[in-house]
Amino acid sequence: MEVNPPKQEHLLALKVMRLTKPTLFTNIPVTCEEKDLPGELFNQLMRDDPSTVNGAEILMLGEMLTLPQNFGNIFLGETFSSYISVHNDSNQVVKDILVKADLQTSSQRLNLSASNAAVAELKPDCCIDDVIHHEVKEIGTHILVCAVSYTTQGGEKMYFRKFFKFQVLKPLDVKTKFYNAETDEVFLEAQIQNITTSPMFMEKVSLEPSIMYNVAELNSVSQAGECVTTFGSRAYLQPMDTRQYLYCLKPKKEFAEKAGIIKGVTVIGKLDIVWKTNLGERGRLQTSQLQRMAPGYGDVRLSLEAIPDTVNLEEPFHITCKITNCSSERTMDLVLEMCNTNSLHWCGISGRQLGKLHPSSSLCLALTLLSSVQGLQSVSGLRLTDTFLKRTYEYDDIAQVCVVSSAIKVES
- What are the φ/ψ torsions at residue 261 (nearest 5 degrees)? -70, -50
- CB neighbourhood size of 391 (10 A): 13
- Going by pLDDT thresholds of 50, 70 and 90, the confidence category of residue 261 is low
- Going by pLDDT thresholds of 50, 70 and 90, the confidence category of residue 221 is confident
For the chain, what is the mean pLDDT?
Answer: 84
* CATH homologous superfamily, domain 298-402: Immunoglobulins (2.60.40.10)
- What are the φ/ψ torsions at residue 253 (nearest 5 degrees)? -55, -40
Dihedral angle at the C-alpha atoms of 148, 151, 157, 161, nearest 10 degrees?
-10
Q: Which of 10, 22, 32 is nearest to 62 (CA)?
A: 22
Q: Return the DSSP state at 342.
A: S
Q: Return the DSSP state at 263.
A: H
Amino acid at 282: R
pLDDT at 8 over 70: no
Structure confidence at residue 60 (pLDDT): 65
Strands 282-286 and 267-276: antiparallel
pLDDT at 292 over 60: yes
Structure confidence at residue 303 (pLDDT): 81
Average pLDDT over residues 333-348: 89
> In CATH, which of 2.40.50.140, 3.65.10.10, 2.60.40.10, 1.10.287.3610 is domain 7-168?
2.60.40.10
Structure confidence at residue 295 (pLDDT): 64
Average pLDDT over residues 267-284: 89
Structure confidence at residue 145 (pLDDT): 94
Cα(171)–Cα(173) distance, integer angstroms: 7
- The contacts of residue 126 (CB under 8 Å, 6+ apart) are 87, 88
What does the pLDDT look like over 93-143, one tens digit per residue? 899 999 999 999 988 999 998 778 888 888 999 999 999 999 999 999 999
Domain with CATH 2.60.40.10 in the chain: 7-168, 298-402
* Choice between 105 and 5, residue whose per-residue pLDDT is larger: 105
Cα(261)–Cα(88) distance, integer angstroms: 67
* Choice between 376 and 36, residue whose per-residue pLDDT is larger: 376
Cα(189)–Cα(249) distance, integer angstroms: 11
* Choice between 307 and 35, residue whose per-residue pLDDT is larger: 307
Q: How far is CA 371 from the centre of its chain?
A: 47
Q: Return the DSSP state at 254.
A: H
Structure confidence at residue 1 (pLDDT): 39
pLDDT at 410 over 60: no
Report the share of the chain in percent with pLDDT over 70. Answer: 88
Q: How many helices (H) and strands (E) does the chain have?
A: 3, 33
What does the pLDDT look like over 59-91, one tens digit per residue? 667 777 777 777 778 899 999 999 999 999 888
Average the pLDDT over each of 67-71, 220-224, 303-307 and give the range with the smallest value. 67-71
pLDDT at 3 over 60: no
Average pLDDT over residues 340-350: 89
Cα(149)–Cα(12) distance, integer angstroms: 10
- Going by pLDDT thresholds of 50, 70 and 90, the confidence category of residue 190 is very high
Cα(282)–Cα(206) distance, integer angstroms: 16
Contacts within 8 Å (CB) and 24+ apart, 107-114? 107/138, 110/134
- Going by pLDDT thresholds of 50, 70 and 90, the confidence category of residue 5 is very low
- What are the φ/ψ torsions at residue 256 (nearest 5 degrees)? -65, -30
Cα(186)–Cα(295) distance, integer angstroms: 11
- Return the SS3 of 37: coil
- Return the SS3 of 152: coil
The domain defined by 170-292 folds into Immunoglobulin-like (2.60.40)
Cα(400)–Cα(263) distance, integer angstroms: 25
Cα(111)–Cα(102) distance, integer angstroms: 4
